[in-house]
Structure 1
């Protein structure tokens, strides 16, 4: 392995996680029943009558509402296990020159998100750090199971349907609308002088990034596995779920729900909505996907069956142009879109 090569922007590649990360995890403990692995974004610890679910996430791609988004994204990993979120711990790193009002804004956002999710801030760390040009947040989430049941990413079985909730690219679309309203107003057809409306639309989509309810519905209605969708988008999440479960998959890209505004931004920026960060979406597998979709819709959550889990290692995506391989997630297309729009 060439250890001198530069790392790509975004999440560390799946192969690197396997090759250099997962064998450096300290001492084994009997309490850990779901250890770090590909596709498993939360660990599960057996500490008594109930199981404890814990996870941690940074917020790096958004410049607005970082505190609120940080809490929601961290809790999503816990909720995807079917666990009840209980608490968060927050690290805030501020650039030199940051103002007190900047910190207060972040803290207000964290506080509001925790109130919405009925969780407490159990601790954290805040400092001004040299070398940064914007704030960096890392949020650890802690949850508990009801009884001993936990929904893993590794539980998918051949024959299961693959269900996606809400819309692909949800979070990425919201971030781009709020960070680049002026440029998108110029580039999107029919949206000239529409900056304020684009920001409002971004804020509306932002309000949907929690999967707490999505995870509870999956856990309570016979799902075999679930995985929340973050960097790498819907296709990346399905790949990781298959990797965790040791299965293949056939994914129909044409069946994945995508909002018109996401399609428009993707067309302008030359990105794939199915590879765009999608907090707010949950991947769930179920023996009868249509029944799970019906339950989601009865709970006011958009959902669709987008493919099938199959035996073996064949993982493919069906598009209008033909069949392509379902590959490990690469650089999230939010970064590609940000680079494109920054130059416009």
Structure 2
């Protein structure tokens, strides 16, 4: 009972320290509100308002037909420019695409020849350049084919392909972006809060006060984990209810309570990792550098941004020891697909095992650090 009382009192002290730190409070509010909203709404369509200009040297009905086939929201209204303005406009970055229709284009098409149409692409705008190239080819080929046939006709295929988009029928990008950002925020804040709490005590000299108190390193460590973990879990729940469901209107298929249980396991693992990193760093700037080295691979290779199946096999195997990999699996299965415990229990078990290992490693390192200070 005395150990539990020490853990509770030390954890309450951590919560009071956090309450008196306005910058960390502002960071928590920003990450779970503004950051989630902007990440969800700032993910544009793959091709949205791409700037296109057309050099029409033919001035024929066919070239006019092609020019009028580009319209919002995929493209901006095409700008008519001259051949002499094409290179200069591309150099200035005024256009992402410039379509050059040569003179005699319609005549050559009707004569059965294969005239060349030049498409200049600003490849520095990579996402639009890759997708827009295919869009423009399809549009030009479709307009030329309809012009030759004199009418619109859809070729009947011997099969009928029925497409069903499950879990996101309208392919709304904000649904995916908001959930991914919440998952990333849990990972990041769990490390930051516990690491900052330990470094703050070291910088303020309060860690020496703890050394002369009848508390063990394990009690100190557990108090930081439960207090900062409680803050992260409560912030996650608030973000899901107010921002994701309330503001963004994202439907959550599964149990929020089950997801929060998975979040608590992830927080347990990541707070232990945060304490371990804080024992390696001597100051907040060093801790920030270590955080960048650890956090970016955890977020980018966990499967939240890119499917794990698309990664090299070696990376897939290495990332199985990362808690974020299993947390992303839990989050996507529960929140997107409505999975229950019968489906996600292996990921829960893996997350618990990784958390225990990280906790033991951090406790060993934390004891060693305290003994050196003593």
Q: TM-score, normalised by structure 2?
A: 0.23
Structure with higher helix content: 2
Q: RCO greater where, 1 or 2, for CA within 8 Å and sep 6 or more?
A: 1
The structure having more radius of gyration, on CA atoms, is 2
Structure with the bigger percentage of strand: 1
